[in-house]
Amino acid sequence: MYKPTYKKRTARMISWVCGSLFTLFSLLYLFVMQADLLATAQHLLSKGQTVYSPLWGAVVITLLLLLLQGVFRRIMVYPLRFHALYYFPSCVVLGLLTSIVPQTGWNVQLSTNWIWLTVCIFLYTLVTWTALHFPDRKNGKQNAFSFLWVNFLWLALQFCMVNSIANTKDVYHYRLKAERYLVEGQDSLALQVGAKLLQADRSLTAMRMFALSRENLLGEKLFDFPQYDGSQGLLPCFSDTTYTHDWTNALYKHLGGKPGKNMKDNTRFLELLSQRPSATAAAKDYLLCAYLLDKDLDAFVTVLPRCHEVNDNLPLHYKEALVLYNRLHTTPAITYKNSVIETNLNDFLHYGMQYTHATERSNQCRRMYGNTYWWYYYYQELPAQP
């Protein structure tokens, strides 16, 4: 006979294990993966009046989700094999809560794929129907593990559902984290966010450029990061109002001027700004980097002597550009010699000659020389003009 006491002990164990796993998942998910997203939501919805605490936020939200599970448990009665389904409403709420994206005017909206969420709810309804029509066997003593493994499966599927309906886009999360570090003045940490990956967008690139400039490393490490937007990636898009904090004011104060609403060409803006008395040294370096990103070596060489002495103390990418300029011009406006960099340029050019297919040559050269100006000059396509 299947003893009631054994069944109660098994039910308590399954309840405790499922609750512990859900609690652990929720805390780690909210505290580690989605803290910046929730901080964005609270900042926007409160119009900047409150500050989100990642630790306490994760704890409070998890407790509320556990309370929701408790309420749902009083409504539904699942067999032990389906005990983990009590957490389905909590998982849906958790996924929706972390699917937000910022919008214009201190607002947010959900980015959930509603069709996929509808499919998940439909599948959950089918499983619930099955659970209610095929209860646990009343006779015979079943091993507790036979109940545990199937509940582990239901929990794993629900955790995957949370991840699929939430906002888990890498670049977006990089932007939020980098922005937070910028506002806190931790530029070195901002530069470490997603530094080893090739994914980036214009906003993230602009944040990285600002951090490099404040660290006086713009001409030294510009091409340590992917540059897909040319000179347009140096500054944020004027129409982009999705930033959590207004770090752009600090950027334009750092440069000594701000572009007008109709100024869409960053290079032209930086040219005009560099002629004003308010222009800072950082603005002039921004202009030099804009020329490099536009692959306009003639303009770069024309402006460089106005900003820096042309010697071996120049930033690395300026020296790489000068060596390349001298290689491409028979009568250069500036003659610059650097045996080490010239050797590296020769190695780069010869290395690329080993590969006949253009795509393979680009990829292989990027692996070895992707952080040089030369790879950008020869292989990176320029975006369309604004």
DSSP secondary structure code for residue 275 in this structure: T
The one-letter code for the residue type at 101 is V
Terminal Cα distance for the chain, rounded: 79
pLDDT recorded at residue 161:
93
In Å, what is the CA distance from 41 to each residue of 49, 318, 320, 386?
A: 12, 41, 43, 31
Residue found under tokens 């897909």? 228
**What pLDDT, on the 0 to 100 scale, is given for residue 272?**
93
In the numeric block, which tokens belong to residue 368?
């070895």
Give the integer Cα–Cα distance in Å for 195 and 205. Answer: 11
pLDDT tens column, 149-179: 889 999 999 999 999 888 888 888 898 889 8
pTM of the model: 0.84
H or E segment at 110?
strand 107-110
Rounded CA-CA distance 218/284 in Å is: 11
Q: Has residue 287 got a pLDDT over 80? A: yes
pLDDT confidence tier of residue 104, bands split at 50, 70 and 90: low
Supply the pLDDT for residue 116.
85
Q: Please report the pLDDT score of residue 230 as a whole number.
A: 93
Q: Which two tokens stand for residue 96?
A: 């929706």
Q: What is the mean pLDDT of residues 11-37?
A: 91
Kindly indicate the confidence band of residue 365, based on its pLDDT and cuts at 50, 70 and 90: very high
How far, CA to CA in Å, does 326 sit from each of 293, 331, 341? 18, 8, 12
pLDDT digits (tens, 9 = 90+) for 195-234: 888 889 898 999 999 999 999 999 999 999 999 999 999 9
Sequence-distant contacts of 246-255: CB under 8 A, at least 24 apart: 247/179, 247/182, 247/183, 247/207, 247/210, 250/182, 250/210, 251/206, 251/210, 254/210, 254/213, 254/214, 254/280, 254/282, 255/279, 255/280, 255/282, 255/283, 255/286
Which one is predicted more confidently, 145 or 377?
377
pLDDT digits (tens, 9 = 90+) for 300-354: 999 999 999 999 999 999 999 999 999 999 899 999 999 999 999 999 999 999 9
Residue type, 370: G
Evaluate if residue 266 carries a pLDDT over 50: yes
Determine contact, residues 22/64, Cβ cutoff 8 Å. no
Whole-Å CA distances, 325 to 161, 322, 345, 376, 378:
54, 5, 11, 14, 13
Q: How confident is the model at residue 1, as a pLDDT?
A: 43
Residues with Cβ within 8 Å of residue 353, at least 6 apart in sequence: none
Give Cα separations from 88 to 58, 81, 372 (angstroms): 18, 15, 50
pLDDT at residue 2 above 50? no
Q: Contacts for 50-56 with beta carbons within 8 Å, 24 or more apart? A: 54/30, 55/31
Q: Is the pLDDT of residue 81 over 50?
A: yes
Q: Provide the pLDDT for residue 192.
A: 94
Average pLDDT over residues 350-359: 92
Q: Coil, strand, or helix at residue 335?
A: coil
Residue 136 pLDDT exceeds 70: no
User: Where residue 9 falls among pLDDT bands split at 50, 70, 90?
Assistant: confident
- Which pLDDT score, from 0 to 100, does residue 149 have? 87
For residue 115, the model assigns a pLDDT of 86
Helix 281-293 crosses helix 316-328 at what angle (to 10 degrees)?
Answer: 40
Q: Which two tokens stand for residue 30?
A: 């909210």
Q: What distance lies between CA 367 and its chain's CA centroid?
A: 22
Q: In 10 A of CB 258, how many CB atoms?
A: 15
Q: pLDDT band for position 184 (50/70/90)?
A: confident
Measured distance CA(283)–CA(313) in Å, rounded: 19
Is 360 a residue whose pLDDT tops 80? Answer: yes
